[in-house]
């Protein structure tokens, strides 16, 4: 089993700024934790981060060739990108949306996700654990499909 792990804009800054909101871990720390969990599941991961909407869409389209699902944090594009939602719909891969922060307890413009309705589900508010819980949920979903 192989999953694409997609990180949206500014997540490359994790661990350097706003630790009170997003935690002290870097994106590499999160990716390493995911790698460990994935190894226990016997599955492999491909990591991709971009600040560009088009590159994220290209990665989603590319995943349809060789991935069984997508674990994604579309970051601010969660709230704005019809294009990313359309790409997810087009590839029809099972997808879990995760967020470090609880988007529902923040500004009202973060309450709406355009992408969550085309995902299997959304996990938010648990920092790095959101990603780990998301991978577990995606793995279990694909395994039992
Ligand atoms: O909580 C999340 O994971 C978010 O997806 C993070 C996005 C935000 O726009 C979403 O509403 C919720 C922002 C990512 C920005 O990451 C930074 C990391 C360090 C310093 C500054 C920004």
Q: What is the residue range of 69's domain?
A: 2-144
Kindly state the average pLDDT of the residues 14-33: 93
Going from the Cα of 19 to the center of ligand 1, the distance in angstroms, rounded, reads: 11
Tens-place pLDDT, residues 27-57: 999 999 999 999 999 999 999 999 999 999 9
Nearest CA to ligand 1 atom 5: 75
Furthest-apart CA atoms within the chain: distance in Å:
40
The reported pLDDT for the residue numbered 18 is 84
Range name among 17-26, 38-47, 62-71 with the lowest pLDDT average: 17-26
Kindly state the average pLDDT of the residues 10-38: 95
Q: Cα(26)–Cα(9) distance, rounded to whole angstroms?
A: 14
Best mutation site among 74, 103, 119 for ligand 1 pocket (most ligand atoms within 8 Å of CB): 103
Q: Cα(5)–Cα(46) distance, rounded to whole angstroms?
A: 6
- Regarding beta strands 2-7 and 121-124, do their DSSP bridges make them parallel or antiparallel, or are they unpaired? unpaired
Going from the Cα of 145 to the center of ligand 1, the distance in angstroms, rounded, reads: 31
- Domain CATH number, residue 82: 3.40.50.9100
What's the structural domain count of the chain? 1
Residue 80 is given by DSSP the state T
Mean of per-residue pLDDT scores for the chain:
97
Identify the residues whose C-beta falls under 6 Å from ligand 1: 10-11, 13-14, 17-18, 22, 73, 75-76, 78, 99-101, 103, 110
Tens-place pLDDT, residues 99-121: 999 999 999 999 999 999 999 99
The reported pLDDT for the residue numbered 94 is 98
Q: What angle do CA 68, 70, 72 make, to 5 degrees?
A: 170
The reported pLDDT for the residue numbered 17 is 84
């Amino acid at each position: 089993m192989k999953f694409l792990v997609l990180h949206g804009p500014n997540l490359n800054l994790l661990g350097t700024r706003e630790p009170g909101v997003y935690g002290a871990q870097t994106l590499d720390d999160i990716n390493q934790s995911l790698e460990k969990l994935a190894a226990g599941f016997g599955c492999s991961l491909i990591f991709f981060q971009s600040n560009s909407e088009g590159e994220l869409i290209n990665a989603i389209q590319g995943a349809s060739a060789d991935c069984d699902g997508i674990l994604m944090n579309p970051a601010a594009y969660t709230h704005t990108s019809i294009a990313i939602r359309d790409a997810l719909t087009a590839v029809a891969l099972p997808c879990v949306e995760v967020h470090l922060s609880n988007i529902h307890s923040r500004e009202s413009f973060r309450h709406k996700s355009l992408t969550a309705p085309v995902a299997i589900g959304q996990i938010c508010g648990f920092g790095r654990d959101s990603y780990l819980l998301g991978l577990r949920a995606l793995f279990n979903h694909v395994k039992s499909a």
